[in-house]
Structure 1
Amino acid sequence: MIPIGANLQKIRNGKRTYAITPHLPGGFVKPEILRKYADAAEKYGGVLKLTSAQRIMITGLKAEDVEHVWADLGMQPAMGFANCVRSIKLCPGIAFCKRGKQDSIKLGLELDRLYHKKEMPSRMKIGVAGCQNSCAEVHIKDIGVLGTDNGWDVYVGGSCGAHPRLAQKLRSDLTYEEVLRLIAVIVRYYQQHGEIERVGEFIDRIGWERFSSDVLALYEAESGRETGCGREAERVEAMKSSEATARNKEATPYEAVKSDKAVNSNKAGESTKVAEPAHRGPLAASEPIQADSIVSDIIRVYPQTIPVLRSFGMGCLGCPSATGESIAKAADIHGIDIQALLRALNEGVANQTGSRPE
């Protein structure tokens, strides 16, 4: 019989060992909890393993020790049973990340509180990312939420593993409250009509048109939201104003990471964005690199600038943001003097070509 809250690992020479995975909301862990992990692993001969779901597993445990390990940790298992909502995966968002567009920690922890371990027709994975880099892998989650400048986009039906499937966008530019309402409708609809199948398989079985129309009709009916252009414009502007105000305040310490010192998302009164210069179109060969030049265009036209960019600490040149981000915006995000960077880039081009771009 498998011990409660444990998973059987590979059987070697007839010996059985087990792993346990405590729940860590959002992957945040206090120093004192880490010490408990280390003490328990050392005491019972276990091995610590970081998982892809932002948790810490203790593996290599004997069956008779599992109950004692749980008692020493004083924590709850991350998973109740197979067909339930797993831990919500989330990124740092505006609280910690320089590229964050929305508060993914606040939303992710609330979703974890609402849905973690809830019974479903099959297992369900939810991801919340604060920007288009999608560090929480929202496009391969059953429900994915992606932060943008205009709010939140909601995706459904993603999965990985043996039958990978990219999630499809269901709704865009939602507020925090609207995301919670829409996800509540998605979950309830899936619980009522899904069989033993992931959300993506459920959508493939009944068709995207039926799924999306049913869910959105229920969402609109329950929210009672007017969809007239005037009302919608007012809602979007109010949401933008609210988000901008939130960014310029100290971030509230989240329940999962309370400490004596509050973590600021940014200094009070300090803007989180740099004004984008007016873009003049794609960069062409022989043209000088200017503040409005797009990072991906610079690399494409002048590949010799890659070492220069890296020397300034801009190592992630292939990230999704590079495809639409100006060099001025990138410099601001990385805390780089844009004028010094432009001089170095254009000098790098001149050194390779023998002439400075005009």
Structure 2
Amino acid sequence: MLPKGANLQKIREGKRTYAITPHLPGGFIKPEVMQKYVDVSKKYGGTMKLTSAQRIMITGLKAEDIDSVWQELGMQPALGFANCVRSVKICPGIAFCKRGKQDSIKLGLELDRRYIKKEMPSRIKMGVSGCPNSCAEAIIKDVGAIGTDTGWDIYVGGSAGSHPRLADKLIESLNYDDALRVIDIVMRYYQQYADIERIGQFIDRIGWGKFKTDVLAEFYGEKSSAGEPRVPQSEAGDKIVPLPGGLTEGNLVFGDAITADSVISDIIRVYPQTIPIFRSFGMGCLGCPSSAGEPVTKAAAIHGLDLPELLAALNKVVPEKK
């Protein structure tokens, strides 16, 4: 079991080290809080690392020290669902930058307040950039906002990882309230209809036209004439066409046993009943870019799991092939 509020980082010669990443909205931190980070890191032999999500990770920690680290930081463990809104990256905007067009800090902190750690079909990242320079990398975030002279342009579907995708522009020139409102519609639509997939993968599956039509119909108070997006169900003998960066990259068929070479995203598409099994083994982030093309044997090694034990548990919920 993982220590509370920690992530497994490395396994060297059988020894495991962990990291904690306290939440820092917008990356803002007071000097006295920074001093706590320094003192705790020194005491427990940790290393401080600035992350791409504007947080400070303390890594190289022992499992038995995790509770004490959180206690001495004076913070609650940064808990959340593995598939949730992970971060809202914010640029300085008009508050601190001479090139700022819009108040990115105000919008970003409000998005952080509304969505951070909220459960989603997959991991989600947001970015708020106060001008088209996009210093918060909004164009490669699942949901991004970019400030212009006329308001906020909203982008959806961006991601990095092994199959990077630039976000699509959904709507432009919105004021603060309308930007929040359309983002809320996007998040609810995604929660309701998506599978274990990033927003960009969801858009690619149902089509950009349908996604945009449905979201903007609600935004403008109209009724969409299109039907609800459906997740295709596997039938016995049906083969799924591999899609790089999509819902599956392997060729598992309904009724097949799960093997060491079975791709994780393939497994959860064909056998969604395996999701709680994976999570019970500490493999919660099933929508991350790595799992798209990662076989069970590699994932087990990375997480320090017993491969035969994991395969046995997974195959217990697989229907017998007739």
TM-score exceeds 0.5: yes
1:220 aligns with 2:220: yes
Q: CA deviation at 1:76?
A: 4.0
What's the counterpart of residue 332 of structure 1? none
* TM superposition shift of 1:78: 4.7
For the pair 1:36 / 2:27, whether they are aligned, the reply is no
Task: Decide whether the 8 Å contact of 1:23 with 1:75 is kept in 2.
Answer: no
Q: Which residue of 2 aligns with 1:18?
A: 18
The alpha carbon displacement at 1:75 in A equals 2.4
Q: Secondary structure at the match of 2:87?
A: coil
The CA distance in 2 between the partners of 1:97 and 1:77, in whole Å, is: 33
Amino acid at match of 1:183: I
Aligned counterpart, 1:262: none
Give how far 1:27 is off: 0.3
Q: C-alpha distance in 2, partners of 1:159/1:48?
A: 26
| Offset, 1:77 | 4.5
Q: Within 5 Å, which residues of 2 pair with 1:175-324? A: 175-221=175-221
Alignment length (residue pairs): 222
Q: C-alpha separation between the residues in 2 aligned to 1:36 and 1:75?
A: 11
1:172, distance to aligned residue in structure 2 (A): 0.4
Once residues 89 and 77 of structure 2 are traced to their aligned partners in structure 1, the CA distance between those partners, rounded to angstroms, is 16
1:79 shift after superposition: 5.4
Deviation readout 1:303-340 (Å, 9 max, x if unpaired): xxxxxxxxxxxxxxxxxxxxxxxxxxxxxxxxxxxxxx
- Is the Cα–Cα contact under 8 Å of residues 24 and 78 in structure 1 kept in the other structure? no
Q: Distance in 1 between matches of 2:77 and 2:115?
A: 15
Aligned-partner SS, 1:87:
strand
Of structures 1 and 2, the larger Rg is shown by 1
The letter of the residue matching 2:83 is N
User: Is 1:174 matched up with 2:174?
Assistant: yes
Q: TM-score, normalised by structure 2?
A: 0.68
Matched letter for residue 31 of structure 1: P
User: Contact 2:4 / 2:77 at 8 angstroms: preserved in 1?
Assistant: no
The residue aligned with 1:68 is: 68
- SS where residue 37 of structure 1 aligns? helix
Q: State the distance in 2 between where 1:58 and 1:134 align.
A: 28
CA distance, structure 2, for counterparts of residue 79 and residue 207 of structure 1: 34
Secondary structure, aligned partner of 2:94: helix
**TM-score, scaled relative to structure 1:** 0.61
Amino acid corresponding to residue 167 of structure 1 in structure 2: A
Task: State the 1:181 CA deviation.
Answer: 0.4
Give the Cα separation in 1 of the matches to 2:63 and 2:120: 29
Letter in 2 for 1:109: L
By percentage of residues, which structure has more helix? 1
Whole-angstrom distance in 2 between the partners of 1:79 and 1:177: 29
8 Å contact kept, 2:87–2:124: no
Question: How many angstroms apart in 2 are the aligned matches of 1:101 and 1:176?
Answer: 13
CA 1:37/1:94 → structure 2, altered by over 3 Å: closer, same or farther?
A: same
Q: What residue in structure 1 maps to residue 49 of structure 2?
A: 49
1:163 Cα shift?
Answer: 1.2
- Residues 156-181 of structure 1: per-residue CA shift (max 9 Å, x gap): 00000011100000000000000010
Distance 1:76 1:98, change over 3 A: farther
Give 1:141-160 correspondences, 5 Å limit.
Answer: 141-160=141-160
Evaluate the alpha carbon distance shift between residue 79 and residue 151 of structure 1 in structure 2; reply closer, same or farther with a 3 A threshold.
Answer: farther
Aligned-pair CA distance for 1:106: 0.4
The aligned counterpart of 1:111 is: 111
Quote how far apart the aligned CAs of 1:13 are: 1.6
The answer for unaligned runs of 5 or more in structure 1 is 223-358
Deviation at 1:81, TM superposition (A): 2.4
Aligned to 1:289: none
Match of 1:123 in 2: 123
Say which is worse superposed, 67-76 or 188-197, in terms of deviation. Answer: 67-76
Which structure: greater strand fraction?
2
Of 170-179 and 66-75, deviating more is: 66-75
What is the match of residue 290 of structure 1? Answer: none
Task: Report the 3-state secondary structure (helix = DSSP H, G, I; strand = E; otherwise coil) of the residue aligned with 1:122.
Answer: coil
Maintained 8 Å contact 2:146/2:152: yes
- How far apart are residue 220 of structure 1 and its match? 1.0
Give the equivalent residue in structure 2 for 1:134.
134
Kept in 1: contact 2:84–2:122 (CA 8 A): yes
Query: What letter corresponds to residue 153 of structure 2 in structure 1?
Result: D
What is the rounded CA distance, in whole Å, between the counterparts of 1:94 and 1:49 in structure 2? 27
